[in-house]
Amino acid sequence: MDKTQLLIALALALFSLGLVGVIVRRNLLVMLMCMELMLNGVNLSLVTFAQQAGAAVGAVLVFLIFVVATAEIAIAIPIVLLLARRRHTLDADAYADLKG
């Protein structure tokens, strides 16, 4: 297997694992961490392509994704804490009444 194919397949696998984790897991914090795994898979594909093209621009995009992921966590964690304080559970099913 070519090295590029290995890395891109790994990136796809990490993204799919994160997506299925968001769907099948029950705990809100675990769902958040699975989203981080999806971002990591995307980052890996970006770094692979940037390294092949020798373009530092890809690394800039990865860096901006880092910042966005940090902002996402910084706002998601207070929301999770607020939900946990209100219903005393992190079970996503406990918040099913949020759907329209």
Partner 1 sequence: MSGTDLLLWFFAAASLAGGVLMLVARHPMRVALALIGSMISLAGIYAILGVHVIAVFQVLIYVGAVMVFMVYVIMLLDTRDPAQKRRFSALAIPGAIGFVLLLGGLVYGVVGELPQAAVAARPGQGFGLTEFAVAFLNEYWLHFELTSVLLLAAVVAAVAVIKASRGDHG
Question: Is residue 35 a contact point for partner 1 (CB under 8 A)?
Answer: no
Interface residues for partner 1 in 56-75 (CB under 8 A)?
Answer: 56-57, 59-60, 62-64, 66-75
Question: Is residue 51 a contact point for partner 1 (CB under 8 A)?
Answer: yes
Q: Go through 15-25 and write b for each residue having 16 or more CB atoms within 10 A of its CB, e for each that does not.
A: beebeebbeee
Nearest distance, CB of residue 97 and partner 1, angstroms: 16
Question: Is residue 42 a contact point for partner 1 (CB under 8 A)?
Answer: no
91 DSSP assignment: B
